[in-house]
Structure 1
């Protein structure tokens, strides 16, 4: 009798294991596609990603070529007309303010690395969890008359969004993570003093065990804002005469 109960138990366990394996198999099929191994699916996704990146780089190169051609046409017209020259200078000024021009000049570089994982009280937190500190740094640099700011080579403008996306931060729709390299063009001494002031933002970052490096640089390059902003709901307001 005892032997029969043991056999019945083994049969029951076998049936349960079979059901579990069947459910797992169906789940894998749904996630990666029927008849496709996970490694094969990963290779396909990697190939697709590479193709998309190549297409993106090709588009960026094409945009750069077209912008160079436009600049040549603009400069040719400038040489012929003083009024056109004045308009060109005004246009460049507003493009610089909007962030649609690559800029270079003196300024500062602030590099922020996550705390070492073996530090006590670190709790696995990183700069991704401290978006308020990043925004605070941007505000401080703006208050110190920074003329241009970038975060991991993403230009910061009035349209820039900085949001948490899983284990990463999205800046201008581009995923990035630690270390964060914040660059700012302006008076190097003023910018450095604003960040390194006693009990200021750099002190605060270090108190949270973030590893920071703040340096001045005479030749900082900040790329332009790449996204195209379209105005769907607003238009210039005409003043009543």
Structure 2
């Protein structure tokens, strides 16, 4: 058999080893073609001119810069809003605290807290109005935030003391002894403010002969309140 005839015979009747080699060669060829196509697909900028690549790079850089500026602006806006919100919240809290303080000073709300209770029991000589007024003034000077007499009258800056028909009147309310003055504040300071030598307590005991007892309750409760005076002529100005 000639060489040509042997070749044709091998192609028509391949052995097992030849078949395996053929399959491997086919797989290798497919992988090579796939790799080439993948490289061609991924290599997007291959073949571009340098000027084109620079222009593309500048465009990407400009977009990044704009994004960064927008992010910075949004972060600044968020910080401003947080600052405005905090300032508004602080202003509201200050206003509420101020309103609460004014309501207490005006005697419009019940209050409680540490303080002192001064009980004045008359002897044969009635307690003078100016003695009681001195006691109240010294309590205010010592920092009393709220004062009440006989669980009836809430004292404020405009309170008045007078004697009518032998009876003590405070803000038009006639009071009977013993007189119980309760004040809310720092107990040590309040007691020191009225109990110093030649002070109102000493005058009540020495000159009026009254029995004066100063106590420090665990809590002083003042429940009497004042009615808010209604204005007849004044009204808020525009913009207030």
**TM-score tier after normalising by the smaller chain length:** 0.5 to 0.7
Which residue is 1:160 aligned to? 159
Q: Contact 1:131 / 1:163 at 8 angstroms: preserved in 2?
A: yes
Which residue is 1:201 aligned to? 200
Quote the Cα distance in structure 2 between the aligned partners of 1:131 and 1:112. 12
- Deviation at 1:169? 2.0
Encode CA deviations 1:190-209: one digit per residue, 9 max, x unaligned: 11111111222111111121
Q: Contact 2:131 / 2:203 at 8 angstroms: preserved in 1?
A: no
CA RMSD, 1 decimal: 2.7
C-alpha distance 88-126 of structure 1, shift in aligned 2 (>3 A)? same
Which residue is 1:113 aligned to? 121
2:136 equivalent to 1:138 = yes
Listed as ranges, the matches of 1:206-217 within 5 Å are 206-207=205-206, 208-217=208-217
Q: Secondary structure at the match of 2:168?
A: strand
Q: 1:93 aligns with which of 95, 101, 106?
A: 101
Quote the Cα distance in structure 2 between the aligned partners of 1:216 and 1:169. 25
Q: Contact 2:114 / 2:185 at 8 angstroms: preserved in 1?
A: yes
Q: Contact 2:144 / 2:190 at 8 angstroms: preserved in 1?
A: yes
Which residue is 2:110 aligned to? 102
Q: Contact 2:106 / 2:226 at 8 angstroms: preserved in 1?
A: no
C-alpha distance 232-181 of structure 1, shift in aligned 2 (>3 A)? same
- Deviation at 1:237? 7.6
Quote the Cα distance in structure 2 between the aligned partners of 1:217 and 1:144. 18
Which segments of 5 or more consecutive residues in structure 1 lack a partner in the other structure?
1-80, 118-124
Encode CA deviations 1:94-123: one digit per residue, 9 max, x unaligned: 2112111111011111111111x3xxxxxx
Which residue is 1:12 aligned to? none
Encode CA deviations 1:122-157: one digit per residue, 9 max, x unaligned: xxx312xx1111111111111101111111121100
C-alpha distance 224-163 of structure 1, shift in aligned 2 (>3 A)? same
Q: Contact 1:195 / 1:201 at 8 angstroms: preserved in 2?
A: yes
For these two proteins, the number of residue pairs brought into alignment is 149
Based on CA coordinates, which of the two structures has the bigger radius of gyration? 2
Q: Contact 2:114 / 2:186 at 8 angstroms: preserved in 1?
A: yes
2:158 equivalent to 1:150 = no
Q: TM-score when scaled to structure 1?
A: 0.55
Q: TM-score when scaled to structure 2?
A: 0.55
Quote the Cα distance in structure 2 between the aligned partners of 1:178 and 1:232. 37
Quote the Cα distance in structure 1 between the aligned partners of 2:146 and 2:100. 14
Which segments of 5 or more consecutive residues in structure 2 lack a partner in the other structure?
1-87
Quote the Cα distance in structure 1 between the aligned partners of 2:91 and 2:171. 33
Q: Contact 1:169 / 1:176 at 8 angstroms: preserved in 2?
A: yes
Q: Which runs of 4+ in 1 moved over 6 A?
A: none
